[in-house]
Amino acid sequence: MNAAATTTHTNCLRCGRALRNPTPAGYGPKCRAKVRRSSVDTSDYKPHQITSARELIEDAAIIPLRNTVFIAVSTDGTETYKTAPTACSCPAGLKGSRCYHQLAARLLLAA
Ligand SMILES: [Zn+2]
Ligand SMILES: [Zn+2]
């Protein structure tokens, strides 16, 4: 399933408002700026994980499901994972590792 990566979003992924210009990027201009500025304690993460988390958000490859749960699309677009700030259903997350999906979820919740 690759819907999240290819869909043109008509509503902002952060605030849910209708987007004036439907875009695969998924955020209105204000929310996009907020999401970009969002910061959390990343000391537990390696630099490449922080980069991956930012890219996941930029690509609108992590979308809200409910409350603090998100759906994240795998790098190759073939799988989706359920991601929360402290848990994730990806292979790394299932082993109890802090994957970058969790970091992306934390960044979005802090935005
Ligand atoms: Zn918005
Ligand atoms: Zn994960």
Q: Which ligand is nearest to the CA of 19?
A: 1
pTM of the full structure = 0.89
Average pLDDT, the chain: 91
Neighbours of ion ligand 2 (CB under 5 A): 88, 90, 93, 99, 101
The closest ligand to the CA of 98 turns out to be 2
The pLDDT of residue 3 is above 70: no
3-state secondary structure of 39: coil
Residues 9-39: b if buried by 16+ CB within 10 A, e if exposed: beebbbeeeebeeeeebbbbeebbebbeebe
* pLDDT 10s digits, 28-65: 999 999 999 999 999 989 999 999 999 999 999 999 99
Helix or strand (DSSP H, E) at 69: strand 69-73
67: left (phi over 0), alpha (psi -120 to 50) or beta: left
pLDDT the model gives residue 1: 44
